[in-house]
Amino acid sequence: MTAWGDPTENAQKTHYVIQPKRRRLLPKQSNGHAAHSIPFRALDHGTELDTLVQKRYSLYNTIWDRHRSKIHSILNNSNTGLFKELDKFVETSPDQRRKLQIAFLQLSSNTANNARVMNEFNKYVGDKYKVVNISSKICGNIKSTMREVVKQIREDEFDSQEEDDDDDDDDDDDDDDEEQNEDSRVNYDLDFLFDWYLQNGKGRHIVIILQDATSVNNQVINQFIKVIYSYSIDLPIRLIVGLSCNNIGSWINGNFNNESRLVMNGYKFESDDKGVGPQILEELFLSQKVEPKLDSSMELMPSPLLTSIIHTRFQSANNSIDSLISEIKLCYMIHFYNLSLSVLLEEEPTDRHVGSLRKLASFKRYVEEKLFKIKTPEDRMEISSLLSSNEAIQKLFQQAKRQFKQYRLAVLNLVHLLFRLQAINGGVKSKFELYKLAISNKLINSVILNDLVKSITTMNVDSIEEVLNTDDLVVCRGDVSDDKAEVLIGEFTGVKEEIAKSNSIKSLLVRVQDCVKEYLHNKLINQSIEEQLFFEIFTINGDSAKTKYEMPIFEEKYDNLMINLIRPPLRGTLEASLEDCKEYLRTDLEELASVPASNQDVFVNPIINQLFRVYKEAPVSINIYDFYVAFKQSLRKSDLSNLAGSEEVSEDEWDKLTYSWFIQSCFELMMIGLLKEKPKGDYLEKALWKGV
């Protein structure tokens, strides 16, 4: 056995742990600008002015604060009806001395949504009742469950004692133990409920909420119900049981014994959070309400890719509202953090912005289309001015900004009209799904639209009156208008008057159908959002995940920077970094700058990358010696020695180098989880990528 600090001990180590010293961080000053006190960085290679950085951050806060208030308003009102029913249950359910009043609340399968519903109910009732919240983490056994009930019941007593006591918080547990010893009662004795009710709770109900009962052992639940029932004979106790199941009756039959069923009187309630997500999306992106303090130019539209990602992920991720909110917020943050041109939502373009505007893909496509349409010298002069004159770009941007607002207004009117048509015909697509098809230019010639237009001639009087309701269509919004929508509203108004006068509506239905067909010939709604000039500034897309982005075939495999930040693709990232390290280490130019001129045609990857290539070709069970020989032969001795700046190494030194690299790289692959040792000492086994 070696003594601590013995040099021979270090010889047995395979890795070392470095603990850097803490140093005080000094504010950085780059390019002569003062250090930012905001989380956004200066773009354009650090040349962006501090005032513009502050403006981007201010725009982000302004827009997100407005969206956050809308989200909170929707969430606060989403379960108001349910909370009123639960409040009525607590107040008016009969005090049957032989029955325990239990409310079975059916929740969704998403635990985050369920916890939010329970927290909102606690805020809703306030101090009206004495509420005790119990989670499944505490319900390991009946004793810990009862202890938690007593603890929350006695909170008022503890709070009053802490106000009069100036002792340190570290002595609180000792004080509690002394109290219990003085009272000669254990801390899970439910007789404390009587003490609280006599001192503070007369006239108040005790509401015990078991938040996620499906995760609690059924034996503990049955014991807890028996105990609570014995106290409910003399105290106004109500029990609310939260369940994440499809059928409450089946759950009761499978978890409650006969004794528990005989002593309880159950009521069923249901929380419906399925419509909250679509309601949030529609309120944020598809609302036609005009807000007086918010310029319409600041309303960004989600791109087709982002729309697909958000909608698909929300549908397949247990309808998580918290995850949906995080995704939307992160998209706005990425947009204003990475795009210096985002200030143009509110500011006029200056000379420093013109160069960046010319680099946008939409502007390049616009110029290419102009080049193909050259017919006169004036056309050539126009293109030349766009490439050389700053004033021409600034004027073009103002036109594009106005046209994009017109495009947004036309798309939203189309979505609301078609949603009303499909709702009458029993359609199931949400407004957000129709919006995705509209901005991708996949709606106009689709089967869905064709069927909806055909269905107009088969409607009855009540249905056609719903179609003619134009309350959700907006003609003017700010300084732009939708002329096609104005004509459609005028035609619909005339049809309404004709229906009131005539008994036969067949001819009127054909007229309505013709009006809708004419409205669909709008040039704006026959374009995708990516065909709009400078659309990159007015849309949020979550940014691309890679520089060379390839669109997958299936929508469920869509990804971007936003979704990769929320749900990192660990396996794909690990494989990509081991395959090609340039994307994660340094660029090719930096590599060439660091290599001597005589060796600039040589690039050597890290050793673990080389071993990973050999690993991919190896079988599931790998002989260590064969693995080492293949690894050694894959290395180029001349390249490594030249880069090291040393002379030709001998075979003996080369063997030592390659063996040490091999041992180190094998250990790193084991730590990553790609390799593991087999019981036989001379074999390794693939832990991942067995079929690669």
What DSSP line would sit under 168-194, residue for residue? Answer: -GGGHHHHHHHHHHHHT--TT-TTHHH
Average pLDDT over every residue of 97-124: 85
Sheet bearing 206-210, strands edge to edge: 130-134, 206-210, 237-243, 100-106, 264-270
Q: Would you state the pLDDT for residue 164?
A: 47
Poorest-confidence range of 54-68, 171-185, 331-345, 572-586? 171-185
Average pLDDT over every residue of 478-502: 86
In angstroms, what CA-CA distances link 692 with 552, 614, 687? Answer: 21, 11, 12
Q: Which residue has the higher pLDDT, 180 or 451?
A: 451
Tokens describing residue 538: 């007015």
Query: What DSSP designation does 599 have?
Result: G
* pLDDT confidence band for 9 (50 / 70 / 90): low
Burial profile 255-279: b = 16 or more Cβ within 10 angstroms, e = fewer: bbeeebeebbebeebebebeebbbb
pLDDT surpasses 70 at 351: yes
Average pLDDT over every residue of 251-256: 90
Euclidean distance between the first and the last CA atom of the chain, given in angstroms as a whole number: 44
Which of the given ranges, 171-185, 224-238, 393-407, 472-486, has the highest pLDDT on average?
Answer: 393-407
Q: How far is residue 445's CA from residue 53's CA, in Å, rounded to a whole number?
A: 43
The CATH code of domain 577-686 reads 1.10.10
* pLDDT confidence band for 552 (50 / 70 / 90): low
Measure the CA angle with vertex 15, ends 13 and 20; round to 5°. 125
Phi, psi of 665 (to 5 degrees): -70, -35
* pLDDT confidence band for 33 (50 / 70 / 90): very low
Nearest C-alpha neighbor of 210 from the set 139, 306, 110, 157 = 139
The whole-angstrom distance between residue 683's C-alpha and the CA centroid of its chain comes to: 44
What DSSP line would sit under 391-424, residue for residue? Answer: HHHHHHHHHHHHHHHHHHHHHHHHHHHHHHHHHH
Domain boundaries, the chain: 92-157+186-272, 277-285+297-540, 577-686
Q: Would you state the pLDDT for residue 176?
A: 46
Sheet bearing 621-623, strands edge to edge: 621-623, 683-686, 675-677
Nearest C-alpha neighbor of 314 from the set 324, 304, 322, 306 = 324
Nearest C-alpha neighbor of 632 from the set 652, 609, 662, 606 = 662
Radius of gyration of the chain (CA): 34
Average pLDDT over every residue of 364-372: 92
Tokens describing residue 126: 């306030």
Q: Are 104 and 312 in contact (CB under 8 A)?
A: no
What's the CATH superfamily of 92-157+186-272? Answer: P-loop containing nucleotide triphosphate hydrolases (3.40.50.300)
| Residue carrying structure tokens 């080492």 | 628
pLDDT surpasses 80 at 638: no
* pLDDT confidence band for 634 (50 / 70 / 90): confident
- pLDDT one-digit tens code per residue, 428-486: 788 999 999 999 999 888 888 888 888 888 888 888 888 888 888 889 988 889 999 99
* pLDDT confidence band for 185 (50 / 70 / 90): confident
Q: Are 635 and 654 in contact (CB under 8 A)?
A: no
Q: Which residues pair with 105 in a beta bridge?
A: 242, 269
In angstroms, what CA-CA distances link 432 with 80, 153, 369, 473, 521? Answer: 25, 46, 31, 16, 22
616: alpha, beta or left? (left if phi > 0; alpha if psi -120 to 50) = alpha
What's the whole-model pTM score? 0.75
Which amino acid would we find at residue 622?
Answer: I
Query: What DSSP designation does 545 have?
Result: S
